[in-house]
């Protein structure tokens, strides 16, 4: 029986297009609700780079102790904008303040003008933590503010990560002991001054010696130049001597050979002369006999003999014999001298050969001497140049050491002064300084509008949503267009108002009960109670008018399904939880078109106690939707005066 009843119940949805659509709606509405909700809030935190946040850099920079510039504000600005964790909008203070107040920016971050100077103040007398000013406005989005606070905590931690408390305390301990070290350094600087004085005296002596070395090297260069010229001439003379000695050796050899021949010839001449003397002696004896004979013959009156005797007397053979004896003696002496000459010329040839060899050696040696003296002359010239530079450099050293002495005195004075300026912190002071520097960056927050709890943050979303659901319940029980009114000649406007006013009265009661419970039961703090009540009445009146219009135009069944679908769409698009910028593009497009968007924004302003222009925009939009919905409902009521079979027997009813 149950299956038959169920089957007959489903069979009635087979007739007509609207019942089939109703079955489809029953199947798809849960899917639509779940899919829309998950789609809208699938991963909102991964799209925080779409949240517009104002960033103001007013930092003027500072100079570190070592003289370098620190522009921490610019560095932080570059790091934030390059990181793209949020949609940082670098702007000026006025625009940032107005943007946070009007909702153009979810919050604003300001780097003050003393940001860098505070960071470098850690080693000064008054260490101050650097400060980052952040301005929030819960009227923009409670979740947006919550995400902003979390992000700024991370920013602060990232900036402060460079200075751990342990490292800072270590630095301060070192500064405490540096005081004694500086005093010792001051004493050392005095010793340095004395040493510099001694060094100056020595450098002066070096300069004097260098001047003397310069003069001596100049004289050495001149002398070696003269020696080079003399050595060159000696080399040339020894070369000529070697050539002459060679010629002498050759001539001596020739003379020796000739003297040997001469000795042999002289000996033979001596021998010939001696022989000739013997022959002459014999000839003289013979001539004496011939003379005696001729003399006798001449005396005998022989003319021929007289003539021969006259001729023989003219030849004087005795004198010739005497001369030949002298020649014999001289030839013997010549032979003896020629032999001695031969021996002497041999000795001379040997000596000339030795002389030639020695002259060659002398020529080679003098050539090497000439080359060496040339190199010595060049080196002496270089030495003269170098010693000149040495003299100049030594003079500069003497001058520099004088400056070093003065600088050492200044160092001593400066160290003494510096030692007095370093803070002589006590243990408590050092701990306090370390604690300050260990937390170098603090966040100074300003809240234009504050939601004091998570409930207050989400109330602007859940109160309109509850009233929209309350409107659906009202129209389940009340008729949007009363049948009795439609049967009268009343205008469509009056018919629409006749169905609308009872619903608004119940809706106002819903507002009273709902606001009373969350205020007194849950402790919701409302900044503007009267304004909140009036605005919630406007919200429920708008929702009821819109829902009445949907039912009037689409019919009771389809209109109520459309109301449920509209509720789902508004929950995911009204930016009641996560900022709409973190949702997909579809929801960002429909966001400004839906009335719940303006209901949420208006309630944020009123609950947080910071109404601005957005509240009046919300009121204007809601009133427009309300009036437009009533007009459409009135128009439709005027067309519903004619009853049809479909109206009498609707294919689908709820």
> pLDDT of 179-227, one tens digit each?
555 566 566 666 666 666 666 666 666 666 666 666 766 666 666 666 6
pLDDT at 127: 77
Ordered by where they begin, the domains of the chain are: 17-43+452-648 (no CATH), 51-162+440-447 (3.40.1710.10), 178-419 (1.10.287)
For residue 402, pLDDT beyond 70: no
The string of pLDDT tens digits covering residues 130-182 is 889 999 887 777 777 888 888 888 787 877 765 444 345 444 544 555 555 55
pLDDT at 165: 44
Please give the Cα distance from 86 to 109 (Å, whole number): 12
For residue 598, pLDDT beyond 90: yes
Please give the Cα distance from 305 to 299 (Å, whole number): 9
Q: Name the pLDDT band for 85 (thresholds 50, 70, 90).
A: confident
Contact present, 599 and 464 (Cβ < 8 Å):
yes
The pair phi, psi for residue 365, each rounded to 5°, is: -60, -45
pLDDT at 599: 94
Is the backbone of residue 108 left (phi > 0), alpha (psi -120 to 50) or beta? beta
pLDDT at 95: 93
The pair phi, psi for residue 419, each rounded to 5°, is: -60, -30
The string of pLDDT tens digits covering residues 529-571 is 899 999 999 999 999 999 999 999 988 888 888 898 899 889 8
Residue pointed to by tokens 């943007």: 99
Q: Name the pLDDT band for 63 (thresholds 50, 70, 90).
A: confident
* CA end-to-end span of the chain: 25
Please give the Cα distance from 509 to 537 (Å, whole number): 9
For residue 318, pLDDT beyond 70: no
Q: How far is CA 122 from CA 119, 172, 401, in A?
A: 6, 10, 38
The string of pLDDT tens digits covering residues 251-260 is 666 656 665 6
Q: Name the pLDDT band for 271 (thresholds 50, 70, 90).
A: confident
More confident residue, 378 or 76: 76
Please give the Cα distance from 330 to 341 (Å, whole number): 16
- Average pLDDT of the segment spanning 279-305: 71
Question: DSSP assignment of 376-426, as one string?
Answer: HHHHHHHHHHHHHHHHHHHHHHHHHHHHHHHHHHHHHHHHHHHHHHS----
pLDDT at 3: 44
pLDDT at 4: 42
The string of pLDDT tens digits covering residues 231-251 is 677 666 666 666 766 666 676
For residue 642, pLDDT beyond 90: no
Rounded to 5°, angle at Cα 618 from 613 and 621: 125
Rounded to 5°, angle at Cα 589 from 584 and 595: 115
Crossing angle for the helix pair 317-421 and 303-315, to the nearest 10 degrees: 20
Please give the Cα distance from 91 to 108 (Å, whole number): 10
Please give the Cα distance from 356 to 253 (Å, whole number): 13
Q: Name the pLDDT band for 42 (thresholds 50, 70, 90).
A: low
Residue length of the chain: 654
- Which strand ranges, in their side-by-side order, compose the sheet holding 441-447? 87-90, 52-57, 107-111, 130-136, 441-447
Q: Name the pLDDT band for 26 (thresholds 50, 70, 90).
A: low
For residue 523, pLDDT beyond 80: yes
pLDDT at 549: 95
Please give the Cα distance from 15 to 23 (Å, whole number): 12
Residue percentage of the chain with pLDDT more than 90: 18
Q: Name the pLDDT band for 640 (thresholds 50, 70, 90).
A: confident
Q: Average pLDDT, whole number, for the chain? A: 74
Buried b (16+ CB within 10 A) or exposed e, 384-405: bebbbebbebbbebbebbbebb
Q: Name the pLDDT band for 337 (thresholds 50, 70, 90).
A: low
pLDDT at 144: 79
Please give the Cα distance from 462 to 522 (Å, whole number): 14
- Average pLDDT of the segment spanning 430-452: 73
* Maximum Cα–Cα distance across the chain: 239
Maximum mean pLDDT: which of 89-93, 139-143, 519-523:
89-93
For residue 622, pLDDT beyond 60: yes
Token code pair at residue 114:
């003393």
For the chain, give me the number of helices (H) and strands (E)? Answer: 19, 7
Q: Which residues face 444 on adjacent strands?
A: 133
Token code pair at residue 420:
């007095």
Please give the Cα distance from 171 to 302 (Å, whole number): 165
Please give the Cα distance from 400 to 406 (Å, whole number): 10
């Amino acid at each position: 029986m149950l299956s038959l009843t169920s089957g007959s119940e489903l069979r009635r949805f087979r007739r007509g297009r609207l019942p089939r659509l109703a079955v489809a709606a029953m199947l798809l509405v849960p899917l639509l609700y779940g899919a829309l909700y998950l789609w809208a809030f699938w991963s909102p935190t991964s799209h925080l780079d779409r949240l517009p946040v104002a960033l103001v850099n007013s930092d003027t920079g500072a100079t570190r102790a070592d003289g370098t510039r620190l522009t921490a504000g610019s560095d932080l600005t570059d790091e934030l904008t390059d990181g793209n964790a949020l949609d940082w909008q670098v702007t000026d203070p006025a625009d940032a303040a107005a943007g946070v107040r009007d909702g153009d920016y979810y919050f604003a971050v300001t780097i003050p003008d003393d940001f860098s100077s505070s960071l470098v103040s850690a080693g000064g007398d008054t260490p101050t933590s650097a400060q980052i000013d952040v301005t929030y406005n819960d009227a923009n989005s409670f979740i947006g503010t919550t995400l902003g606070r979390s992000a700024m905590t991370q920013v602060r931690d990232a900036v402060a990560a460079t200075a751990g408390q342990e490292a800072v305390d270590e630095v301060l301990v070192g500064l405490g002991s540096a005081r004694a070290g500086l005093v010792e350094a001051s004493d050392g600087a005095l010793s340095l001054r004395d040493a510099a004085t001694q060094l100056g005296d020595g450098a002066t002596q070096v300069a004097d010696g260098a001047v003397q070395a310069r003069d001596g090297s100049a004289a050495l260069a001149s002398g070696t130049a003269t020696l080079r010229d003399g050595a060159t001439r000696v080399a040339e003379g020894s070369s000529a001597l070697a050539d002459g000695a060679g010629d002498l050796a050759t001539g001596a050899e020739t003379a020796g050979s000739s003297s040997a021949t001469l000795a042999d010839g002289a000996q033979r001449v001596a021998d010939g002369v001696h022989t000739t003397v013997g022959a002459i002696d014999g000839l003289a004896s013979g001539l004496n006999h011939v003379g005696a004979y001729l003399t006798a013959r001449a005396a005998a009156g022989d003319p021929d003999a007289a003539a021969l005797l006259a001729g023989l007397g003219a030849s004087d053979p005795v004198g010739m014999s005497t001369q030949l004896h002298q020649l014999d003696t001289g030839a013997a002496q010549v032979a003896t001298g020629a032999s001695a000459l031969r021996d002497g010329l041999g000795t001379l040839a040997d000596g000339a050969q030795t002389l030639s060899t020695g002259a060659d050696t002398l020529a080679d040696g003098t050539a090497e001497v000439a080359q060496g003296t040339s190199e010595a002359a060049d080196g002496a010239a270089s030495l003269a140049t170098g010693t000149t530079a040495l003299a100049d450099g030594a003079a500069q050293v003497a001058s520099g050491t004088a400056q070093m002495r003065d600088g050492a005195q200044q160092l001593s004075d400066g160290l003494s002064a510096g030692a007095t300026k370093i803070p002589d912190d006590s243990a408590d002071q050092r701990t306090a300084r370390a604690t300050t520097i260990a937390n170098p960056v603090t966040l100074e927050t300003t809240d234009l509008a504050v939601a004091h709890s998570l409930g207050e943050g989400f109330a602007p979303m859940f109160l309109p949503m509850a009233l929209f659901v309350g409107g659906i319940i009202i129209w389940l029980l009340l008729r949007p267009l009363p049948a009795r009114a439609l049967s009268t000649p009343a205008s469509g406007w009056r018919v629409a108002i006749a169905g609308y006013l009872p619903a608004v009265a119940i809706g106002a009661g819903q507002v009273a009960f709902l606001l009373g419970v969350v205020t007194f039961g849950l402790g919701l703090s409302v900044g503007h109670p009267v304004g909140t009540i009036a605005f919630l009445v406007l919200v429920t009146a708008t929702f009821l008018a819109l829902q009445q219009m949907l039912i009037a135009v689409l019919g009771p069944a389809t209109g109520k399904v459309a109301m449920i679908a509209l509720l789902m769409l508004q929950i995911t698009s009204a930016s009641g939880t996560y900022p709409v910028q973190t949702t997909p593009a579809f929801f960002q497009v429909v966001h400004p078109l839906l009335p719940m968007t303006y209901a949420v924004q208006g309630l944020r302003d009123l609950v947080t106690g910071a109404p601005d222009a957005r509240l009046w925009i919300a009121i204007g939009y809601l009133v427009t939707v309300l009036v437009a919905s009533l007009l459409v409902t009135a128009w439709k009521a005027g067309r519903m005066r004619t009853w049809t079979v479909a109206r009498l027997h609707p294919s689908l009813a709820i």
